[in-house]
Structure 1
């Protein structure tokens, strides 16, 4: 897979690979985050695209059930196999609207691979570095 590309798999209408250029063409956001890590408290300015801009609701394999998007979760997978799960509802603008970000730069420096950023988390455990895949799952039947 090309550097900076992310595979979008699972419960989506069309599995695909999103390139670094396609990510760069989406609306960009910058957020300030603070979280605890093994190094102590970290503070960073992360820039990139909202998860929901990269993975809009109409890309999910939804049904006509009421608020069906709330039945989905996204497993972010790093190149080393590290995984973290976020619910689609916490990212969705009509629901949690937490501003989950697929960051392409940190503190003004470009990242070699994108990183999932979860603003508001007290610890950085759901920050997935070297992001290579977003696996969409249906969490409820």
Structure 2
């Protein structure tokens, strides 16, 4: 696995998801408006968003810590998890845009980011094999 590419991928992923996670923990309603142009309809939505934000911060911390790891199997496992997260996030966000018609100013850029990161992860996984 090309360590320079893996380092860049995991660094950018950690920064982007860490910022998103922090935003969800601190001010989930702002992210709801930017992504979906909607305010939460259920009183539980901000609580669930904060839990998701905490999970994103944990994933960002794991990615940041693994940027320079030498253990190939552990790094490969992390890349598989990051790829799966990005594929599923791409699907859910695309569903919100096309089916639910919940489209905020940052939704399509977020979809493109997650789709590109998915492909980048797959390339890194393929190169590692």
So what's the TM-score if we normalise by structure 1? 0.27
From the two aligned structures, give the one with the greater helix fraction: 2
TM-score where L is the length of structure 2: 0.29
Task: Name whichever structure is richer in strand by fraction.
Answer: 1
